[in-house]
Amino acid sequence: MGKPTRAQVVLLIINVSLINDWRAKSKSHQNATAKLPFGFVQLAPDLNQTIHSGWPDLRWWQTGGYGYVPNPSLPDVFMSVAMDLPDLLSHYGSNHPRYMYDIAERLALAGRAVAYGEQGLDFQGPFPTRITTGGSGVIIEYDNGNKPIAVRVNHGFEAEI
């Protein structure tokens, strides 16, 4: 991603500060600790495709500049990936997909792994594992092609090159 801009650094500080503040305030309640788990849903694709909306950058900084959680900046944090779940016609707004089952299932799996330490759960991703270019476009393989990906719409996927 290169050197972060001032705005990106502010987003990182806000996100990390938000989580740390929530943990500090929760610490005074019910024997909570400074490492109280924190879960969130990644921002979904945006309908606006005429200008750079900044959503890819925001997603990156939601994770403290790593692209995944937990990480050194955000320990004991988990998320549900939503960038592969576009619902551009959602009456809640294109950033709020109606496919809540997939989002909730991912968040629950991540919570079980991070908050409860349950081993053997596949809770992160999907991650791109291979990118190939050809005459007609780009092929992106996720999770080494080991899982089928349901394509609900053929438009709305955001990428930044």
31-80 pLDDT per residue, tens: 556 578 889 888 777 776 655 666 777 777 888 888 889 999 888 999 99
Q: How far apart, in Å, are the Cα atoms of 39 and each of 50, 51, 56, 59?
A: 31, 30, 19, 14
For position 161, what pLDDT does the model report?
43
- Rounded to the nearest integer, the mean pLDDT of the chain is 76
Query: Angle, to 10 degrees, between the axis of helix 55-62 and the axis of helix 6-27?
Result: 40
What are the pLDDT digits (tens) for 2-11?
555 666 666 6
Taking residues 119-132, report their average pLDDT. Answer: 82
Contact 98, 92 (CB under 8 A): yes
H/E segment holding residue 142: strand 137-142
